[in-house]
A and B are shown apart, each in its own frame.
Chain A
Amino acid sequence: MSFKPALPSARHLIIAVPWFWLALFFLLPFLFVLKISLSEPTLAQPPYLDLIREIEDGFVTIVVNFSNYQLLLADSLYLSALLGSLKVAGISTLLCLLIGYPMAYAIARSPSHWRLPLLMLIILPFWTSFLIRIYAWIGILKTNGLLNNLLMGMGLVDSPLAIMHTPIAVYIGVVYNYLPFVVLPLYATLIRLDLTLLEAAADLGCRPWKQFLLITLPLSMPGVLAGAMLVFIPVMGEFVIPDLLGGPDTLMLGKLMWTEFFSNKDWPLASSLAALLLVALILPFVLLRHFERRAEEAAT
């Protein structure tokens, strides 16, 4: 069964392209960040000391400085920022799934000539700049904004609701912005679901709600996972939405990084925060894959 392609080099070349791309635009910049995170801050341009320093007569010394990481672990501010990000990312992901799943399900089950227009409506907000859409939310949510004027005009509330600069505003902005990233992968898995499987389940005595729980939901898990990752990962580092819609008590890693980098000019500390965030994001997925493999091996 062994089949050797005539031109193995051609195949390697094709695989090499994305590898090269990732190495150049992801790995290399990350190594820079890692390098800066291990250096000492200084008042200069750039504001850090190089790791490799020439002392005299061609002697070179490498100074590695772990104090940034020590500071991150020592100061509870950074831990609570990590927890704050985890909380916002986790709750937003859950909300996106809860709202996005019924949307994707409805689109996938709608008559075929309706599907494309409905999907276009999901993508439509992307045609406007992200910043403008977030600013629009300020206009809606602020004290004398659209929402409050509407609610008071209808007599539903007596005084304006304080939504702006609260965590609720952050959740609204994040869920609004990231919803399409959940709907699209979910739609892609749900549209591929073989509907005879549901008929088979019904035939074997399974009521509609249990058909969903036992067949549709487990088989759409790849879409759920993909959507969750597409929301969770960027929200962990999200800066603009909490900065514009959130208040001073909204503590998140992205905002903190911005402060360290631009306000405090502490590039090494900001870089170590970035490195820590990456580890915090990659570790769960590495573990997940590891357990998935183990489970697959156990099955066969």
Chain B
Amino acid sequence: MSRARQFTPEEPWQAPEGEPIVRIENVTKRFGTFYAVDDISLSIHPGEFFSLLGSSGCGKTTLLRMLAGFETPTSGRIFIDGQDVTEVPPYERPVNMMFQSYALFPHMNVADNIAFGLKQDGMPRAKRNARVAEMLSLVQIEALAKRKPHQLSGGQRQRVALARALAKHPKILLLDEPLGALDKKLREQTQFELVNIQERLGITFVVVTHDQEEAMTMSSRIALMHEGRIEQVDPPRRLYEFPSTRYAAGFIGSVNLFDGYVIEQDDDQVLVQCDEADLQLQVRHSQPLVPGMAVTVALRPEKVRVLEQHDTDAPNQLRGIIKEIAYLGDVSIYHVELASGKRVQFTQSNIQALAEQPLTWDEEVLLGWSANSCGVLTE
């Protein structure tokens, strides 16, 4: 989960003079009475590996299809590289798409599939053949050039689809669940390969995925979508560490949420009274908060420490009884019941679990975390 990609080049979305390659302005897409995409504005910058993340039906695929030109927005405008493409048909857009089903042409062999787009552009044969060879070697399937799609494995088909979509050197590559049809092992391997290819070619990637781990691993930024709207747009690390809404906190990884209200507030810390757990929590924050305001404290399970003894100076300490343990191999998840009946989750690496006195069911534990380890959500 925390394998968030280090985005080494300067963050292009931070640069004020940087011109975005994709600008989505107040785009809405309505099917009948259903708002698939509801007033979304978004900018994607050159060279980004941008993910649209969300559960099924959140509108991410509709948004991608509007970028490709297969759907026309009900309202709003879409700009690609400064040009208004809202009404431009797909065959005239400088973008290419890799389809979830791959959509390889079954009556053409691999080389002809890859050459298809180049032929449409009228590229001369010699140049076309060279480009096809270059693409085949890029995705390492040189030996399969003469095969038909039905003679390929799922992983090989995925590579052909990628090569075909990249062959025209589009300004933007749109990928709809690019790894969705692969098995877990192949998926993890291919994630890194996709990132490598993207960095090598410098093409902007816009990926639709429902798999948060996939999005976290590959993306420079993630737009988390929910019910046709964008919940949060941030790099993976920020999205995980500083979710801005309850939905975002709950969608990425697991989280403990404490509903309460502000009772004390100073420059960078706030004291939250949480009635349901009968607790006062000290939280670091950077938002304007006033006493009395209803807030939710979000705490990631891996930030919780098991304490030896109570420390009167430290905040955020609570006692509870271990009710459930889930052993996941690398870590274990513990569910702790507080005196109030509220349950808190925490995880521990299993280096500690194999210690002389492993935590066990019905054991009373003292848990604690620093004010920096949790966050305040107002939405």
Contact = CB atoms under 8 A, between A and B. Distances in A.
Contacts of A206: 91, 116, 120
B97 interface: yes
Interface string A189-220: 00000101101111111110010001100110
B264 to A, nearest CB: 57
Interface in A207-256: 207, 210, 214-215, 218-219
Most B C-beta atoms less than 10 A away, residue of A199, A201, A204, A205: A204
Interface residue range, chain B: 20 to 34
Contacts of A215: 105
B203 to A, nearest CB: 15
A10 to B, nearest CB: 31
A214 B117 CA distance: 12
A117 B219 CA distance: 50
A299 interface: yes
B91 A207 contact: yes
B148 A299 contact: yes
B182 interface: no
A300 interface: yes
B146 interface: yes
A199 B117 contact: no
B105 A299 contact: no
Contacts of A196: 99, 101, 103
B168 interface: yes
Contacts of A201: 105, 116
Nearest to B120: A205
A210 B148 contact: no
B148 A204 contact: no
A137 to B, nearest CB: 40
Given A202-B89, A203-B68, A219-B106, A299 B146 contact: yes
A203 B96 contact: yes
Interface string B133-147: 000000000000010
Contacts of B7: none
B311 interface: no
B308 interface: no
Most B C-beta atoms less than 10 A away, residue of A194, A202, A210: A202
A300 B151 contact: yes
B121 interface: yes
Contacts of A214: 116
B164 interface: yes
Given A204-B96, A204-B164, A194 B116 contact: no
A196 B99 CA distance: 8
A204 B168 contact: yes
Most A C-beta atoms less than 10 A away, residue of B92, B105, B146, B151: B105
A197 to B, nearest CB: 5
Contacts, number: 61
Most A C-beta atoms less than 10 A away, residue of B68, B92, B107, B121: B107
Contacts of A219: 106-107
Contact of A204 (B70, B106, B107, B120): B120
B146 A204 contact: no
Nearest to B116: A204
Specify the main secondary structure of chain A where it touches its partner.
helix
Contacts of A300: 151
B90 interface: yes
A300 B148 CA distance: 9
Nearest to B122: A205
B109 interface: yes
A203 B175 CA distance: 12
A196 B65 CA distance: 12
A228 to B, nearest CB: 18
A203 B91 contact: yes
B90 A203 contact: yes
Nearest to A221: B107
A299 B116 contact: no
Given A196-B99, A205-B168, A206-B120, A218 B91 contact: no
Contacts of B121: 205
B90 A202 contact: yes
B109 A299 contact: yes
B101 to A, nearest CB: 6
Interface string B96-131: 110101011111010000001100110000000000
Interface in B71-90: 89-90
Contacts of A199: 68, 70, 90, 97, 99, 103
A202 B101 contact: no
A207 B90 CA distance: 9
A218 B107 contact: yes
A202 B99 CA distance: 12
Contact of B91 (A194, A202, A299): A202
B63 to A, nearest CB: 16
B148 A197 contact: no
Nearest to A211: B91
Contact of A205 (B70, B103, B105, B117): B117
A151 B305 CA distance: 95
A202 B148 CA distance: 21
Given A200-B104, A204-B168, 13 more contacts: A196-B99, A196-B101, A199-B99, A200-B105, A201-B116, A202-B89, A203-B69, A204-B116, A204-B117, A204-B120, A205-B92, A206-B91, A206-B116
16 contacts: A194-B103, A196-B99, A200-B97, A200-B103, A201-B105, A201-B116, A202-B89, A202-B90, A203-B90, A203-B97, A204-B96, A204-B120, A205-B91, A207-B91, A210-B120, A299-B148
Interface of B: 68-70, 89-92, 95-97, 99, 101, 103-107, 109, 116-117, 120-121, 146, 148, 151, 164-165, 168
Interface of A: 194, 196-197, 199-207, 210, 214-215, 218-219, 299-300
- Rank and list the top 9 A-B pairs by shortest CB-CB distance, nearest first: A204-B117, A205-B120, A200-B103, A196-B103, A202-B90, A203-B97, A202-B91, A205-B91, A218-B107
